[in-house]
Chains A and B, each alone.
Chain A
């Protein structure tokens, strides 16, 4: 991937990238020229736009459809030091049949666990079609030598992970060593192909640590240029985690990236999305920003654990007409 050249054409929003129509090497200097040449992120505008999109009213049949879509997009996650095989198996069972007595309720997209739990999850999900996602590369801090990160990734892939959620080296990114970050992402992408597998690579930007919206935009482009299949907001271990304006910026980035390179990249907000109402706001934002092409579990995911319960409660409210309560869903 490194040393590969990118060619940008001249239409659409990110017009300044046009300046890089020349063949561009992904080294520090080239990346800096490219990333700092992106049009600046409009923070006030993004916040205002996100707030306005959050006021859209989605009701009745549209709401029912949105809830089911959101369930299908959930990466049901458990990333605790106290995870046990039993807990992972219980989570897999829940992901496969969120409402055991309602066959029309879809299953989630994936179960997201630590690398050592991949085999357990894979066995529990056999035959369900649900993916196993594993965090890797010294999650959540990303502070480990590259060799360790690659071994971490390769082990998860060997154990059967279909998707790898890696964290970028925020320290290197903030220090301006874009080449190092790009190289690492490309190397991990290579590790995803260990042993003839082809695991999807989600790159966690940890936007809560990137300080500015410009950095979020640059990190998004950097990850996409380096071969990410998905860009993900956060680990869920840092506050603030996913926010609507940041996700909006990332959606704009994947839209512009596809317009310029023809390659579609997915987006995954993670952390802090707890209510069905929030999830629907995100879906509205996806539709209005990136477009309906992204309204599918292949291109948009929610990294969440408690969100699923609220989605189920809202589904029941629509079905039965009475408010349900937390006593009637699993405690996980």
Chain B
């Protein structure tokens, strides 16, 4: 024991000596006050040619409950560009990841719905700010995943950022537009107001990757819902980056949960899950057997379903078409004059 300590002490000695030397050189430079700029004490020897730096590759993971876990199943799949070029290994979510995501969404939903509309709007705007910051990264990813040129990538990022800002603005206006004070025959105030429906499962479209994801996500969460979104296949790459944006935007963990993988595998579990209150089938082919089956499963607990539309134009003004289906109207009667 003592021998090893001695050996350690010997090893550390030369380091101490070096450390002592450096302050001396510092003093030397102080001794020459006429030098306005402090230069390095001795001319550095020409550096040896650096060894080739090993690349640090990103692991594309899921985004559940504010954390970035790998798939519970341990599976992953290869994301390739349309040209066939390898882009990334993405986590392939399983039904248990879907279940965990629903649980995370359920526990986050009440708090998110209770936040003031103003606060929710601020956070949505913050997401736009954070995306703007990563504009180049998103544009590159869209270009490589969709096989379009970088200019088209930039155009899509800008459209997506603008969409977040647009929905952020809607946050504290939904009440005025969708709510009402109703005339009734009696001494009552009768007031209708929109309330979030709860946990919404979203099946994002395959193209456009980022704009499609944004266009299903933002309208679902602006009213106070928590969501589980499935980013299909290659859309995983910008989706994971969007998850990183969410994680740094003051959005409470669990309000948005992102699963990557095969919608055909995950959608039936989400459609039949009794703790999911609504379903957006945007990413499922319109009129397909899968779309029909999902709607049948969703009927079990009367989920609100948004059907897929063939040839939907994601760049057009969306209006409130994707906001309204995820809001329920609560009407309150209150006696007048008391």
* B 270-281 binary contact with A (CB < 8 Å = 1; else 0): 001111100000
Interface residue? A326 (CB, 8 A): yes
- Is the Cβ of B300 less than 8 Å from the Cβ of A326? no
Residues of B with C-beta under 8 A to A80: none
- Which residue of chain A has the shortest Cβ distance to B198 in the bound complex? A327
Interface residue? B269 (CB, 8 A): yes
- Is the Cβ of B272 less than 8 Å from the Cβ of A326? no
Say how far B72's CB is from chain A's closest CB, in angstroms. 12
Contact residues, A6-58 vs B (CB, 8 A): none
Residues of B with C-beta under 8 A to A325: 102, 106, 273-276
Task: Give the interface of B toward A (CB within 8 A).
Answer: 99, 102, 106, 269, 272-276, 297, 300
- A-B interface, 9 closest residue pairs, ranked by CB to CB distance from nearest: A325-B275, A322-B272, A323-B273, A325-B274, A324-B274, A323-B99, A328-B274, A323-B274, A322-B274
Residues of B with C-beta under 8 A to A326: 106, 275
- Which residue of chain B has the shortest Cβ distance to A328 in the bound complex? B274
Residues of A with C-beta under 8 A to B273: 322-323, 325
* A 311-327 binary contact with B (CB < 8 Å = 1; else 0): 00000000001111111
- Is the Cβ of B102 less than 8 Å from the Cβ of A323? yes
* A 277-291 binary contact with B (CB < 8 Å = 1; else 0): 000000000000000
Residues of B with C-beta under 8 A to A324: 274-275
Say how far A329's CB is from chain B's closest CB, in angstroms. 11
- Which residue of chain B has the shortest Cβ distance to A324 in the bound complex? B274
**Assembly CA distance A322 to B99 (angstroms):** 10
Contact residues, A290-332 vs B (CB, 8 A): 321-328
**Assembly CA distance A322 to B274 (angstroms):** 8
**Assembly CA distance A90 to B200 (angstroms):** 33
Residues of A with C-beta under 8 A to B102: 323, 325
**Assembly CA distance A127 to B301 (angstroms):** 36
Contact sample, A vs B, 15 pairs, CB 8 Å cutoff: A322-B269, A322-B272, A322-B273, A322-B274, A322-B297, A322-B300, A323-B269, A323-B272, A323-B273, A323-B275, A325-B106, A325-B274, A325-B275, A325-B276, A327-B274
Of A322, A323, A328, which is in contact with the most chain B CB atoms at under 10 Å from its CB?
A323
Of A321, A325, A326, A327, which is in contact with the most chain B CB atoms at under 10 Å from its CB?
A325
Residues of A with C-beta under 8 A to B269: 322-323
**Assembly CA distance A185 to B175 (angstroms):** 64
Task: Give the interface of A toward B (CB within 8 A).
Answer: 321-328
**Assembly CA distance A324 to B106 (angstroms):** 13
- Which residue of chain A has the shortest Cβ distance to B96 in the bound complex? A323
Say how far A80's CB is from chain B's closest CB, in angstroms. 22
Say how far B318's CB is from chain A's closest CB, in angstroms. 30
- Which residue of chain A has the shortest Cβ distance to B270 in the bound complex? A323
**Assembly CA distance A327 to B198 (angstroms):** 12
Residues of B with C-beta under 8 A to A321: 272
Say how far B205's CB is from chain A's closest CB, in angstroms. 25
**Assembly CA distance A327 to B300 (angstroms):** 14
Residues of A with C-beta under 8 A to B275: 323-327
Residues of B with C-beta under 8 A to A323: 99, 102, 269, 272-275
**Assembly CA distance A322 to B273 (angstroms):** 6
Say how far A54's CB is from chain B's closest CB, in angstroms. 15
Residues of A with C-beta under 8 A to B300: 322
**Assembly CA distance A327 to B301 (angstroms):** 11
Residues of A with C-beta under 8 A to B272: 321-323
**Assembly CA distance A321 to B268 (angstroms):** 11
**Assembly CA distance A328 to B300 (angstroms):** 13
Given contacts A324-B274, A325-B273, A326-B106, 18 further A-B contacts (CB under 8 A): A321-B272, A322-B272, A322-B273, A322-B274, A322-B297, A322-B300, A323-B99, A323-B273, A323-B275, A324-B275, A325-B102, A325-B106, A325-B274, A325-B276, A326-B275, A327-B274, A327-B275, A328-B274
**Assembly CA distance A321 to B271 (angstroms):** 12
Say how far A320's CB is from chain B's closest CB, in angstroms. 9
- Which residue of chain A has the shortest Cβ distance to B275 in the bound complex? A325
**Assembly CA distance A288 to B323 (angstroms):** 54
- Which residue of chain B has the shortest Cβ distance to A316 in the bound complex? B274
**Assembly CA distance A327 to B274 (angstroms):** 8
Say how far A257's CB is from chain B's closest CB, in angstroms. 39
Residues of A with C-beta under 8 A to B274: 322-325, 327-328
Say how far A274's CB is from chain B's closest CB, in angstroms. 12
Of B269, B272, B274, B300, which is in contact with the most chain A CB atoms at under 10 Å from its CB?
B274
Say how far B46's CB is from chain A's closest CB, in angstroms. 52
Of A322, A326, A327, A328, which is in contact with the most chain B CB atoms at under 10 Å from its CB?
A322
**Assembly CA distance A326 to B273 (angstroms):** 11
**Assembly CA distance A323 to B106 (angstroms):** 13
- Which residue of chain B has the shortest Cβ distance to A322 in the bound complex? B272
**Assembly CA distance A328 to B301 (angstroms):** 11
**Assembly CA distance A321 to B272 (angstroms):** 9
**Assembly CA distance A43 to B87 (angstroms):** 46
**Assembly CA distance A328 to B273 (angstroms):** 12
**Assembly CA distance A185 to B225 (angstroms):** 54
Residues of A with C-beta under 8 A to B106: 325-326
- Which residue of chain B has the shortest Cβ distance to A323 in the bound complex? B273
**Assembly CA distance A328 to B276 (angstroms):** 12
Of B106, B272, B273, B275, which is in contact with the most chain A CB atoms at under 10 Å from its CB?
B275
Residues of A with C-beta under 8 A to B297: 322
**Assembly CA distance A94 to B296 (angstroms):** 32
Residues of B with C-beta under 8 A to A328: 274
Residues of B with C-beta under 8 A to A327: 274-275
Residues of A with C-beta under 8 A to B276: 325
Say how far A208's CB is from chain B's closest CB, in angstroms. 25
**Assembly CA distance A327 to B102 (angstroms):** 13
**Assembly CA distance A211 to B300 (angstroms):** 50
**Assembly CA distance A327 to B272 (angstroms):** 14
- Which residue of chain A has the shortest Cβ distance to B199 in the bound complex? A325
Say how far A304's CB is from chain B's closest CB, in angstroms. 19
Say how far B230's CB is from chain A's closest CB, in angstroms. 15
- Which residue of chain A has the shortest Cβ distance to B297 in the bound complex? A322
